[in-house]
Amino acid sequence: MIDVAIPPQTTSPVAMIRTLGLVAALCGFIIVAAYQGTFDAVQENKRIAVERAVFKVIPTAKAIVEYFAAPSGSVTKVGAGDTAPVGSIKFYAAYDASGKLAGIAAEGVAKGYSDNVRILFAYDPGSAAITGFGLVAMRETPGIGDKILVDKDFLANFPLEAKLADDLKQLAHAIVTVKHGSKTQAWEIDAITGATITSRAVGRAINDAAQMLLPRIVPNLTQLKENNGPPRS
Amino acid sequence: MKLLSYFRGEAFQRGVHPPSCKLTASTRIRRLPFASKVTVPLSQHIGKTPRPIVQVGQEVVRGEPIARSDEWLSVPHHAPVTGVVEFIGLRPGVRGPWVESIVIRAHPGASQEDLWGRPRDLSDATGGDILQAIWDAGMVGLGGAAFPTHAKLTVPKQAHVHTLVVNGCECEPYLTCDHRVMVEQADDLITGIRYAMRATGAVRAIVGIEDNKPDAAVAIRAAIVRCGRIPEGEIYAELVPTKYPQGSEKMLVMALFGVEIPAGDLPVSLGMVVNNVGTLAALGKLLPAGRGLTERIVTVTGPGVAKPGDYIVPLGTPLRFVLDYAGAPGVATRQVILGGPMMGQAAASLDVPITKGMSGVLVMQGDALDWRGNQKTYPCIKCAECVESCPMGLNPAQLGMLAAKREYDLMGSDYHLGECFECGCCSYVCPSNIPLVQQFRIAKQILREKALSK
Amino acid sequence: MHESAAQIFINAFLANNFVLAMFLGLCPFIGVSGKLETAVPMGVASTFVMLVASLCAFGINILLAHLGLEFLRLIAYIVIIASTVQLVEMVLKKYSPSLFRALGIYLPLITTNCAVLGVALFQTAREYDFVQSITFAVGAGAGFTLALVLMASVRERLQLSDVPAVAQGTALSLMLAGILSLAFMGFAGLGG
Amino acid sequence: MSIEISSAPHIKGTRSVEQIMRHVVWSLLPVCAFFIFQYGLSALLSLMVVTVSCLLTERFFVRQGGQSGDIGDFSAIITGLLLALSLPPGFPLWMGAVAGIVAIALGKALFGGIGFNVFNPALIGRAFVQAAFPQAIATYTPSFMPGRFAEYIPSSLTLPLMQPVSVVEWLKDRQFDALAGATPLAKWKFEGVMANADELLTSLSGHMAVGPSPVLILLCGAYLAFRRFLDWRIPAAILGSAGLTAWILYGFDPLRFPNPFFMLFSGGLILGAVYMATDMATSPVTPKGMWVYGALIGLLTVIIRYYSGLPEGVMYAILIANAAAPLIEKITQPTPFGKGVLSNLGRQKKGASYPLHSGYISREDAGAVTPKKRFMFNKPKHPPKE
Amino acid sequence: MNASTTERWDEFMEGIWRQNPLFVMVLGLCPALAVTVSAVNALSMGLATTFVLTCSCVLVSLLRKLIPKEVRIATYIVIIATFVTVVDYLIQAISLALYDALGAFIQLIVVNCIILGRAEAHASKNPLLPTLINALGMSAGFTLGLFALGAVREILGAGTFFGIALFGADFQPWVVMVLPPGGFFVLGAWLLIFAAIARRRQKKLAENIQNA
Ligand SMILES: Cc1cc2nc3c(=O)[nH]c(=O)nc-3n(C[C@H](O)[C@H](O)[C@H](O)COP(=O)(O)O)c2cc1C
Ligand SMILES: Cc1cc2nc3c(=O)[nH]c(=O)nc-3n(C[C@H](O)[C@H](O)[C@H](O)COP(=O)(O)O)c2cc1C
Ligand SMILES: Cc1cc2nc3c(=O)[nH]c(=O)nc-3n(C[C@H](O)[C@H](O)[C@H](O)COP(=O)(O)O)c2cc1C
Ligand SMILES: Cc1cc2nc3c(=O)[nH]c(=O)nc-3n(C[C@H](O)[C@H](O)[C@H](O)CO)c2cc1C
Ligand code: SF4
Ligand code: SF4
Ligand code: SF4
Ligand code: SF4
Ligand code: FES
Where are the domains positioned within chain C? Answer: 18-168+175-184
Of the candidate CATH numbers 3.10.20.600, 3.40.1590.10, 3.30.43.10, 3.40.50.880, the domain formed by B30-117+292-368 belongs to: 3.10.20.600
Question: Which runs of consecutive H residues, i.e. helices, occur in B118-268?
Answer: 127-136, 149-153, 177-184, 186-200, 214-227, 249-257
Residues in chain A with CB shorter than 8 Å from the CB of C15 are 114
Least confident stretch, B91-100, C99-108, C153-162: C99-108
Angle at Cα B27 formed by Cα B24 and Cα B31, nearest 5°?
105
What 3-state DSSP class applies to B129?
helix
How many Cα atoms within 13 Å fall on the side-chain side of residue B48?
A: 14
End-to-end Cα spacing for chain D = 46
Q: Give the tens place of pLDDT for each residue, B289-308.
A: 888 899 999 999 988 788 88
Q: Yes or no: say if E41 and E49 are a contact pair by the CB < 8 Å rule.
A: no
Residues of C with Cβ-Cβ distance to E27 under 8 angstroms: 27
pLDDT at B391: 93
More confident residue, C166 or D314: D314
Q: How many CB pairs under 8 A join C and D?
A: 92
Supply the ipTM of this predicted assembly: 0.86
**pLDDT for position A229:** 52
Percent over 90 (pLDDT), chain E: 33
Closest CA relative to residue C46, chosen from C114, C125, C98, C101? C114
Whether A35 has its CB under 8 Å from any CB of chain C: the answer is: yes
| Ligand 3 pocket check for B423: Cβ under 6 Å | yes
Handedness of CA E151, C172, C36, C5 (dihedral sign): positive
| E-chain residues near D134 (CB < 8 A) | 175
Say what the pLDDT of residue A11 is: 65
Model confidence at C192, pLDDT cuts 50, 70, 90, reads low
Identify the CATH assignment for B123-289 out of 3.90.1580.10, 3.40.50.150, 3.40.50.11540, 3.55.10.10.
3.40.50.11540
pLDDT band at A114 (very low <50, low <70, confident <90, very high): confident
User: ∠E117-E119-E122 over CA atoms, to 5°?
Assistant: 90
The pLDDT score that the predictor gives to residue E182 is 93
Indicate if the pLDDT at residue E3 is higher than 60. no
Which of A164-178, B402-416, D2-16 is modeled with the greatest confidence? B402-416
pLDDT of residue D168: 75
Q: Which residues lie below 8 Å from residue D164, measured CB to CB, with a gap of 6+?
A: D92, D136, D139, D154, D155, D158, E172
In this prediction, residue B7 carries a pLDDT of 44
A31 lies in a domain? no
Query: Residue type at B120?
Result: R
**Mean pLDDT across E79-88:** 91
The pLDDT value recorded for residue A77 is: 81
Report the neighbours of B using a cutoff of 3 or more CB pairs below 8 angstroms. Answer: C, D
Query: Residue C178: which pLDDT band, with cuts at 50, 70 and 90?
Result: very high
Q: Comparing B21-30, B195-204, D131-140, D376-385, which segment has the lowest mean pLDDT?
A: D376-385
Counting residues of chain C whose pLDDT is more than 70, the rounded percentage is: 92
The reported pLDDT for the residue numbered B144 is 79
- Is pLDDT above 50 for A174? yes
Which pLDDT value is given to residue D103?
96
Q: Is residue A34 situated within a structural domain? A: no
**Which pLDDT score, from 0 to 100, does residue D379 have?**
29
**pLDDT reported for residue D36:** 93
Q: Does A197 touch chain C (CB under 8 A)?
A: yes
**What's the pLDDT score for residue D384?**
35
B242, pLDDT greater than 60: yes
Please provide the DSSP assignment of chain A as one string. Answer: -------S-SS-HHHHHHHHHHHHHHHHHHHHHHHHHHHHHHHHHHHHHHHHHHHHHSTTEEEEEEEEE-TTS-EEE--TT--PPTT-EEEEEEEETTS-EEEEEEEEEEE-SSSEEEEEEEEETTTTEEEEEEEEE--PPTTTTTHHHH-HHHHTT-SEE-PBPTTSSSBSS--EEE-TT---STTEEEPPTT-HHHHHHHHHHHHHHHHHHHHHHGGGHHHHHHS------
Closest ligand, as measured to the CA of B387 = 7
Query: pLDDT of D320-338, one tens digit each?
Result: 999 999 999 999 999 888 7
Interaxial angle between packed helices D41-64 and D17-39, expressed in degrees from 0 to 180 and rounded to the nearest 10: 150
- The mean pLDDT values, 10 residues at a time, for chain D of 386 residues are 76 88 94 91 94 94 77 88 93 95 94 92 95 87 83 86 82 71 74 71 68 89 92 94 94 85 86 94 94 96 86 91 95 85 44 37 34 30 34
Q: What is the pLDDT of residue E50?
A: 94
Q: Does A82 lie at the interface with C, CB-CB under 8 angstroms?
A: no
pLDDT at residue B156 greater than cutoff 90: no
Maximum Cα interatomic distance, chain C, rounded to a whole number of Å: 60
Closest CA relative to residue E22, chosen from E118, E181, E123, E143: E143
Please give the C-alpha separations between residue D249 and each of C188, D184, E186, in angstroms, as whole numbers.
Answer: 21, 19, 41
Residue A231 has pLDDT above 60, yes or no: no
Q: What is the mean pLDDT of chain A?
A: 81
Mean pLDDT of B309-338: 86
Per-residue model confidence (pLDDT) at position B365: 77
pLDDT of E149 strictly over 90: yes
Pick B368 or B42 by higher pLDDT. B42
Owning domain of residue A213: 51-226
Has residue A111 been placed in a domain? yes
Of A134-143, C145-154, E51-60, give the lowest mean pLDDT range: A134-143
Q: What is the sign, positive or negative, of the torsion defined by CA atoms of D371, D373, D375, D376?
A: negative
- D345 versus C66: the higher-pLDDT residue is C66
CB B329 within 8 A of CB B353: no
Weakest-pLDDT range from B43-47, D231-235, E38-42: B43-47
Highest mean pLDDT among A90-99, D344-353, E180-189: E180-189
Distance from residue B373's CA to the centre of ligand 9 (Å):
53
Q: Which domain holds residue E94?
A: 3-211
% of chain B with per-residue pLDDT over 90:
37
A 32-71 residues with CB below 8 A of D? Answer: none
For residues A62 and B149, the model is more confident at: B149
Report CA-CA distances (Å) from C168 to D88, D322, E145. 35, 20, 20
- pLDDT category, B1, cuts 50, 70, 90? very low
Phi, psi dihedrals of residue D191, rounded to the nearest 5°: -125, -5
pTM, whole model, 2 decimals? 0.87
Q: Rounded to an integer, what distance in angstroms lies between the CA atom of residue D5 and that of residue B344?
A: 11
d(CA D281, CA D291): 16
DSSP 8-state code for residue B342: T
Of B398, B439, B434, B436, the closest CA to residue B416 belongs to B398
pLDDT of C87 higher than 50 = yes
DSSP string, D269-304: HHHIIIIITT-GGGS-SSHHHHHHHHHHHHHHHHHH
Q: What is the pLDDT of residues B428-438, one digit of tens each?
A: 999 999 999 99
Asked whether residue C120 carries a pLDDT value surpassing 50, the answer given is: yes
Number of A/C CB contacts below 8 angstroms equals 25
Is residue A123 situated within a structural domain? Answer: yes
Chain E contact for D162 (CB, 8 A cutoff): yes
In chain B, where are the structural domains located?
Answer: 30-117+292-368, 123-289, 385-453
Contacts of B420 (CB under 8 A, 6+ apart): B392, B394, B396, B399, B437, B440, B444
Chain A residue nearest residue C3, CA to CA: A111
Across the interface, whether the CB atoms of C181 and E81 are under 8 A apart is answered no
C-beta atoms of D163 and E172 within 8 A: yes
CB contact set of A63 (below 8 Å; sequence gap of 6+): A94, A95, A229, A230, A232
Using the Cβ of C169 and the Cβ atoms of chain D, whether some distance falls under 8 Å is answered with no
> How many domains does chain A fold into?
1
What type of residue sits at position D359?
G
**What separation in Å is there between the alpha carbon of B419 and the centre of ligand 6?**
8
What's residue A82's pLDDT?
67
